[in-house]
Structure 1
Amino acid sequence: MIVRLLITGAAGGVGTLLRPLLAHPDRVLRLLDVAELPDTGDGAERVQASVTDLPAMVEACQDVDAVLHLGGLSTEHAWDDILSVNIDGTYKVFEAAHRAGVPRVVFASTNHTVGFHPRDGQEAPDYLFPRPDTYYGVSKVAGEALGSLYHDRYGMDVVCLRIGGCFAKPLDTRMLETWLSPRDAADLVAAALSTPEPGFKVVWGVSDNTRRWWSLAEARAIGYHPRDDAEVYADEVPQADERYLGRLGGAFCSPDLDGGGRQAGRT
């Protein structure tokens, strides 16, 4: 049982959505972010620190049963920023967890690890080989590789979640396919935290959408049973940019993002 859960990036969009859903009477949430975290009266422990600060991360990992690593830049940025926060920061999370004896890390990866794969009409399989669409995608490939290393070298259980678009509601028609509802996201994290001896796994993070084209086989194998379907929002979402829908990464494949010069605003 996870008695104390460290959540990095707890002030971010996904962290804010998940905080109330992961709260449990028998669980203490230790929330970490570089931004100041509000006290919402739920008894959570709050830590203001950066994932790039290894001593602070080692301290934050003390007496923790698992880490949910959400922290980092969630869209495309310049390489130096991605390298510092997303790649080196993720290394420091894994290393801190190892030094503190934390047995399990759940890593928020992304569909953009494989964004340049073409949409071929077939279901995107579990463990699809990396083909990142941005520096951001590259950073998540690196995070998955670090998870594999820390499992094989140290025996840490690591579950990587290749998340689609996790918002309260889907933002456009592409997200009718890729949406992960907050409720399903919490269920997926709960499954990743509780499944016995997962070793190293990579699973898709998506709801059971009518238009879904990502496999849920591996996610279901760890105990995830999605309850939501983006189709209920089909009549109210705007049309996605059709120029990039032939690739798994959608608009993250746009040439506007060459060299990280602009930020991508949606997942």
Structure 2
Amino acid sequence: MTARILITGAAGRVGTFLRSRLAAEGRVLRLLDIAELPAAAEGENVEIVQATLTDMATMEAATRDVDAVIHLGGYSLEESWDKILHVNIDGTHTVLEAARRSGVRRVVLASSNHAVGYVERANGTAGDYLFPRPDTYYGVSKVAKEALGSLYADRYGMDVIALRIGSCFEKPLDVRMLASWLSPDDCARLCEACLSVPSPGFRVVWGVSANKRGWFSLDEARALGYEPQDDSETYAPEVLARDGELDPSSYAAKYVGGAWCGPDFDTAAKEAGR
């Protein structure tokens, strides 16, 4: 079992989900975030690091004596190019390079469906290694994250797994998420598989649950040893009663990235003031 795991972005939603679910006897979770993190509870085997992931010296210290890194840190929504470049792209390079310098052999990267957001749903099942078609600057940062992971795997022999996470919430928030949902428990199961599979090299896998309405491949995730247990269908009656079925002509129905492919997410135009 992996003894010490560094989780960046540990104060965020997914990091919070994993904090309790990855706890195990003999394991230390080193939790890093620029935001304040709750102190360790009684009996909780965690190390709290409040720091930025964009500083190399800080990250070298944070990756010392670590067996694996789960890199969740960064902006989780669309932001200006400068912010995305500095935190999501440069920050990922800093995390990977610090891990290399510290001798960390395994890194799990939180990628996203938005790395391939402009893939049309009509094309059928979304494969694990879809060619990048980002829908936003945020999506571009996830493509860059995958590319950096590939580089560090090939050049330095690190094991790097990029998880194209669909929608990780306690329960699906809308009709689109009935296809893309990743339950918190399944998220932990997927991370455990990524941490324990022998010598994976570089992989790109979808991070979704076993959703009846899903259309994302689970082949590569299952090849790692992931066995999802949850299904968004449990919540379908509630969601459909509230929202109805998707309009087939909507961005949410047409594209992997959903509404992020629409005009409201055109950050370049907004920054240019037109």
**TM-score interval, normalised by the smaller of the two chains:** over 0.9
User: What one-letter code is carried by the residue in structure 1 that aligns with 2:237?
Assistant: D
Shift of 1:43: 2.5
Distance in 1 (alpha carbons) for counterparts of 2:157 and 2:202: 9
Counterpart secondary structure, 1:226? coil
Shift of 1:15: 0.4
Shift of 1:179: 0.1
1:174 matched to 2:176? The reply is: yes
Uncovered stretches (5+) of structure 2, i.e. residues with no partner: none
Q: Note the 1:174-193 alignment, pairs <5 A.
A: 174-193=176-195
How many residues are matched? 262
Shift of 1:40: 3.7
Question: What are the Cα deviations for residues 69-127 of structure 1, in whole angstroms up to 9, with x where unaligned?
Answer: 00000010111000010000000000000000000000000010000011115111110
Contact conserved, 2:23 with 2:45, CA < 8 A, in 1? no
User: What one-letter code is carried by the residue in structure 2 that aligns with 1:138?
Assistant: V
In structure 1, the partner of 2:267 is 259
Counterpart secondary structure, 1:142? helix
Contact conserved, 1:134 with 1:260, CA < 8 A, in 2? no
Distance in 2 (alpha carbons) for counterparts of 1:208 and 1:127: 19
Distance in 2 (alpha carbons) for counterparts of 1:33 and 1:175: 27
Question: What are the Cα deviations for residues 212-255 of structure 1, in whole angstroms up to 9, with x where unaligned?
Answer: 10000000000000000001001222438642120111011011
Distance in 1 (alpha carbons) for counterparts of 2:20 and 2:269: 35
Distance in 2 (alpha carbons) for counterparts of 1:182 and 1:117: 26
In structure 2, the partner of 1:196 is 198
- Of residues 124, 136, 139, the one that matches 2:138 is 136
Counterpart secondary structure, 1:7? strand
Distance in 1 (alpha carbons) for counterparts of 2:269 and 2:238: 31
- Of residues 208, 211, 215, the one that matches 2:210 is 208
**Bigger Cα displacement from structure 2, 36-45 vs 92-101:** 36-45
Counterpart secondary structure, 2:121? coil
The ranges of structure 1 where at least 4 consecutive aligned residues each deviate by more than 6 angstroms after the TM superposition are: none
Aligned pair in 2 of structure 1 residues 241, 135: CA closer, same or farther (>3 Å)? farther
- Of residues 211, 236, 254, the one that matches 1:234 is 236
Distance in 2 (alpha carbons) for counterparts of 1:148 and 1:168: 31
Query: Higher helix proportion, which one?
Result: 2
User: What one-letter code is carried by the residue in structure 2 that aligns with 1:253?
Assistant: C
Distance in 2 (alpha carbons) for counterparts of 1:20 and 1:261: 41
Counterpart secondary structure, 2:126? coil
In structure 1, the partner of 2:79 is 77
Distance in 2 (alpha carbons) for counterparts of 1:188 and 1:213: 18
In structure 2, the partner of 1:46 is 48
Shift of 1:259: 2.0
Which one has a bigger Cα radius of gyration? Answer: 2
Shift of 1:260: 5.4
Counterpart secondary structure, 2:237? coil
1:249 matched to 2:257? The reply is: yes
- Percent identity for Structure 1 against Structure 2: 63
Distance in 1 (alpha carbons) for counterparts of 2:268 and 2:195: 33
Distance in 1 (alpha carbons) for counterparts of 2:188 and 2:4: 16
The Cα RMSD (Å) is: 1.2
Q: Note the 1:106-121 alignment, pairs <5 A.
A: 106-120=108-122
Distance in 2 (alpha carbons) for counterparts of 1:22 and 1:50: 23
Counterpart secondary structure, 2:178? helix
Aligned pair in 2 of structure 1 residues 78, 241: CA closer, same or farther (>3 Å)? farther
Distance in 2 (alpha carbons) for counterparts of 1:121 and 1:92: 36
Contact conserved, 1:78 with 1:261, CA < 8 A, in 2? no
Uncovered stretches (5+) of structure 1, i.e. residues with no partner: 263-267
Counterpart secondary structure, 1:183? helix
